[in-house]
């Protein structure tokens, strides 16, 4: 263990126990490093969440006729309009998540959308017995994703990118 003495650089710099900062400028640098690490972790989490929406939206776009037909089959009115809005929300929302655009309102919009899609697209309560477990799991995953968006809402800085 290093001794705190005049010959020790940590002692000369005024560092406290375990290398913690003691001067206001050291403390500010320490806090900025911590905030930057938290923002980097948040960005990685947002990219992982965005992947789900980007891939789903692009798949809908590339299989447009099948998407519209599926939406009609599950009883959505104006399935072509709904498919366009859903695709726009998924692709646009995924990209917005990655760049951090208006995270507070975006996270609420995507949380509500994700809960709505759980009730519309994963109706485990009317599923065939062979589909019950899969639909229940997807329903619960949507609720968990919505919980992630609520957490993002709570942690997003008010100063997220606005354009």
Q: pLDDT for 24-73, tens place per residue?
A: 677 766 666 665 667 788 899 999 999 999 999 999 999 999 999 999 99
Q: Which of 49, 52, 56, 54 is nearest to 103 (CA)?
A: 49
Q: Which residue has the tokens 């990209």?
A: 95
Residue found under tokens 């050291």: 26
Q: Which residues on adjacent β-strands are paired with residue 161?
A: 101
122 or 31, greater pLDDT? 122
How far apart, in whole angstroms, are the C-alpha atoms of residue 70 and residue 87? 14
Report whether pLDDT(22) > 90: no
Q: What is residue 42's predicted lDDT score, i.e. its pLDDT?
A: 87
Confidence grade of residue 2 (pLDDT, cut at 50, 70, 90)? very low
Q: Are 82 and 71 in contact (CB under 8 A)?
A: yes
Distance CA 152, CA 9 (A): 41
The pLDDT assigned to 26 comes to 72
Judge whether residue 4 has pLDDT over 50: no
Q: What is the average pLDDT score of the chain?
A: 85
Q: Which helix (H) or strand (E) holds 56?
A: helix 24-62
φ, ψ dihedrals at 6, nearest 5°: -60, -25
* Predicted local confidence at residue 48, as pLDDT: 95
């Amino acid at each position: 263990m290093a001794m705190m003495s005049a010959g020790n650089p940590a002692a000369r710099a005024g560092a406290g126990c375990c290398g913690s900062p003691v001067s206001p400028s050291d403390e500010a640098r320490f806090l900025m490093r911590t905030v930057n690490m938290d923002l980097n972790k948040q960005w990685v989490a947002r990219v992982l969440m965005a992947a789900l929406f980007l891939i789903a939206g692009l798949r809908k776009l590339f299989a447009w006729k099948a998407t519209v037909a599926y939406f009609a089959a599950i009883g959505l009115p104006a399935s072509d309009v709904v498919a366009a809005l859903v695709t726009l929300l998924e692709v646009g929302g995924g990209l917005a998540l990655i760049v951090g655009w208006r995270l507070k309102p975006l996270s609420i919009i995507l949380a509500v959308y994700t809960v709505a899609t759980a009730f519309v697209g994963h109706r485990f309560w009317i599923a065939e017995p062979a589909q019950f477990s899969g639909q229940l799991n997807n329903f619960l995953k949507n609720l968990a994703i919505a919980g992630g968006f609520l957490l993002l809402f709570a942690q997003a800085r008010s100063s997220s990118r606005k354009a």
